[in-house]
Amino acid sequence: MAEVQHLSPEAHARLTAELQDLTTRGRIDIADKIEQARLLGDLSENGDYHAAKEEQGKMEGRVLHLTSVLQDCVIIQQISNDSVAPGVVVEIKFEGDQVTEKYLFGSVEERRDGLEVISPGSPMGQALEGAAVGAKVRYEAGAGTLSVEIVSIDA
């Protein structure tokens, strides 16, 4: 079973529309490109054909990914500023730093301009989930144990 992803209603609608577009217009467009490339002759040396087939493979990979995400997702109805949960923007400060950093906590499919995403399944995400403003959490990273303080949470 795939990892359950928490999506806002907006992200769910956007991904559903993207999947619909890829499985209708997208497949028709790529089939047309492949057919046009076939008309150019020998397929073994036909760059247009190979490019169209590669594009088709990438598109079908995205279709499979979106299908999995939408099949195993939970739509977030309300987001609270009380604790770190999917859908919030969390501002953190690493131990020893004076500079704070803001991240979107949740699915990469929720991405927003200007914000990196922290996945709830990552080591930092597991440590942050459920913590409140002012909490200091520790987690294991490749370079050792890191500590971060939660400065703010915005729904």
| Tokens encoding 140 | 């294991």
Q: Residue 98 belongs to what domain range?
A: 89-154
Q: Compute φ and ψ for 26, nearest 5 degrees.
A: -60, -45
Q: How many residues does the chain have?
A: 155
Report if residue 80 sits inside a domain: no
pLDDT of residue 70: 95
pLDDT at position 79 is 81
Residue 92 exposed, middle or buried by CB count within 10 Å (0-12, 13-18, 19+): buried
Give the largest Cα separation in the chain, rounded.
Answer: 66
Q: What's the whole-model pTM score?
A: 0.77
Q: Is residue 124 part of a domain?
A: yes
Would you say residue 116 lies in a domain? yes
The predicted structure's pLDDT at residue 40: 82
Q: Are 130 and 118 in contact (CB under 8 A)?
A: no
- The answer on 66 and 9 residing in a single domain is yes
Q: What is the CATH number of the domain that holds 64?
A: 1.10.287.180
Query: Which residues 6+ apart lie within 8 Å of 109 measured at CB?
Result: 5, 7, 11, 15, 69
Burial 23-44 (b: 16+ CB within 10 A, else e): eeebeeebeebbeebeeeeeee
CATH of the domain at 122: 3.10.50.30
pLDDT of residue 38: 87
| Position 82 in a domain | no
The predicted pLDDT at position 2 comes to: 63
- Write phi, then psi, for 47 (nearest 5 degrees): -65, -35
Q: What residues does 102 pair with on adjacent strands?
A: 91
Q: How far apart are CA 54 and CA 47, in angstroms?
A: 10
Q: What is the pLDDT along the chain (155 residues), one digit of tens a residue?
A: 567 888 888 889 999 999 999 999 999 999 999 999 888 877 777 888 999 999 999 999 999 999 999 998 999 888 888 899 988 999 999 998 999 999 999 888 888 888 999 999 899 999 999 999 999 999 998 888 999 999 999 98
In a domain, 48, yes or no: yes
